[in-house]
Structure 1
Amino acid sequence: MSEFNAINQRKQDHINAILSDQAIDRQQSGFDHIQLRHCALPELDFAQLDSQCTLFDHTLAFPLLISSMTGGSGAQLEKINRHLAEAAADQQIALAVGSQRVMMANSDAQRSFAIRRYAPNVPLLANLGAVQLNYGFGLDEAKRAVDCLEANALILHLNPLQELIQPEGDRNFAGLCAKIEQLARELPVPIILKEVGCGLSAADIQRGLNAGIGWFDLAGRGGTSWSRIEAHRASKSQQQALGLLFQDWGYTTPQALQNARPFQDQARFIASGGIRNGIDMVKSVIMGGYVCGVAAPFLQPALQSTDAVVQTITEFKQAFQVAQFLVGAATTTDLFLNDALLVQP
Structure 2
Amino acid sequence: MTQNKTENRKKEHITICIEKNIKSTKTTGFEDLTLVHHALPSINMSDIDTTCTFLNKTLKAPIIIEAITGGAKIAEKINKNLAIAANDLGLAMGVGSQRAAIEDQTLESTYTVRKVAPTIPLIGNLGAIQFSNNEYNIKDAKNAINFIDANALAIHLNPLQEATQPEGDLDFKNDKTAIKNICQNLGKPVIVKETGAGISRETAIELEKSGVAIIDIAGLGGTSFSAVESYRDKEKQPIGTVFKNWGIPTAISIVEVTKSTKLPIIASGGIRSGIDAAKAICLGANYVGLALPLLKPATKSANDVKKVLQQIIHELKTTMFLVGAKNLEELKTKDIIITGETKEWLNTRGIDTKTYANRENIKNLRKNIKDVLYQ
Q: TM-score, normalised by structure 1?
A: 0.95
Q: Secondary structure at the match of 1:118?
A: coil
Overall identity of the aligned pairs, in %:
36
Q: Report the equivalent of 1:254.
A: 251
Do structure 1's residue 73 and structure 2's residue 72 form an aligned pair? yes
* Aligned counterparts of 1:73 and 1:251: Cα–Cα separation in 2: 30
Q: Secondary structure at the match of 2:337?
A: coil
Write the letter of the residue equivalent to 2:97: S
Write the letter of the residue equivalent to 2:336: L
Question: For the Cα contact (< 8 Å) 1:44–1:330, is it kept in 2?
Answer: yes
Question: For the Cα contact (< 8 Å) 1:162–1:169, is it kept in 2?
Answer: yes
Q: Secondary structure at the match of 1:35?
A: strand
Write the deviation string for residues 3-28 of structure 1: whole angstroms up to 9, x where unpaired. 11111111111111112222535471
Q: Report the equivalent of 2:271.
A: 275
Q: Shift in Å at residue 307 of structure 1?
A: 0.6
Q: Report the equivalent of 1:129.
A: 127
Question: For the Cα contact (< 8 Å) 1:94–1:124, is it kept in 2?
Answer: yes
- Residue 327 of structure 2 is aligned with which of 325, 331, 335? 331
Give the number of aligned pairs: 338
Q: Report the equivalent of 2:372.
A: none
Write the letter of the residue equivalent to 2:290: V
- Residue 308 of structure 2 is aligned with which of 305, 312, 322? 312
- Gaps of at least 5 residues in structure 2 are 340-375
Q: Report the equivalent of 1:207.
A: 206
Do structure 1's residue 242 and structure 2's residue 239 form an aligned pair? yes
* Aligned counterparts of 2:90 and 2:250: Cα–Cα separation in 1: 25
Question: For the Cα contact (< 8 Å) 1:143–1:187, is it kept in 2?
Answer: yes
- Gaps of at least 5 residues in structure 1 are none
Question: For the Cα contact (< 8 Å) 1:88–1:119, is it kept in 2?
Answer: yes
Q: Report the equivalent of 2:335.
A: 341
Q: Shift in Å at residue 135 of structure 1?
A: 3.9
* Aligned counterparts of 1:25 and 1:12: Cα–Cα separation in 2: 21
Question: For the Cα contact (< 8 Å) 1:72–1:109, is it kept in 2?
Answer: yes
Write the deviation string for residues 289-325 of structure 1: whole angstroms up to 9, x where unpaired. 1100110000000000011011111111110100011
- Residue 91 of structure 2 is aligned with which of 68, 79, 93? 93
Question: For the Cα contact (< 8 Å) 1:26–1:224, is it kept in 2?
Answer: no
Do structure 1's residue 182 and structure 2's residue 184 form an aligned pair? no
Q: Shift in Å at residue 47 of structure 1?
A: 1.1
Q: Report the equivalent of 1:221.
A: 220
Q: Report the equivalent of 1:232.
A: 231
Q: Shift in Å at residue 344 of structure 1?
A: 5.0
* Aligned counterparts of 1:286 and 1:160: Cα–Cα separation in 2: 29
Write the deviation string for residues 164-210 of structure 1: whole angstroms up to 9, x where unpaired. 11000111000111121111111011111110000011111111112
Write the deviation string for residues 93-143 of structure 1: whole angstroms up to 9, x where unpaired. 010110000011111111111111111111100000010001420111111
* Aligned counterparts of 2:85 and 2:192: Cα–Cα separation in 1: 25
Q: Shift in Å at residue 235 of structure 1?
A: 3.5
Write the letter of the residue equivalent to 1:85: A
Question: For the Cα contact (< 8 Å) 1:26–1:225, is it kept in 2?
Answer: no
* Aligned counterparts of 1:344 and 1:258: Cα–Cα separation in 2: 11
Q: Shift in Å at residue 341 of structure 1?
A: 2.4
Q: Report the equivalent of 2:299.
A: 303
Q: Report the equivalent of 2:52.
A: 53
Q: Shift in Å at residue 70 of structure 1?
A: 2.2
- Residue 102 of structure 2 is aligned with which of 101, 104, 122? 104
Question: For the Cα contact (< 8 Å) 2:71–2:111, is it kept in 1?
Answer: no
Structure 1 residue ranges (4+ consecutive) displaced by more than 6 angstroms after TM superposition: none
* Aligned counterparts of 2:134 and 2:56: Cα–Cα separation in 1: 33
**Structure whose CA Rg is larger:** 2
Q: Report the equivalent of 2:364.
A: none
RMSD over aligned Cα, in angstroms?
Answer: 1.3
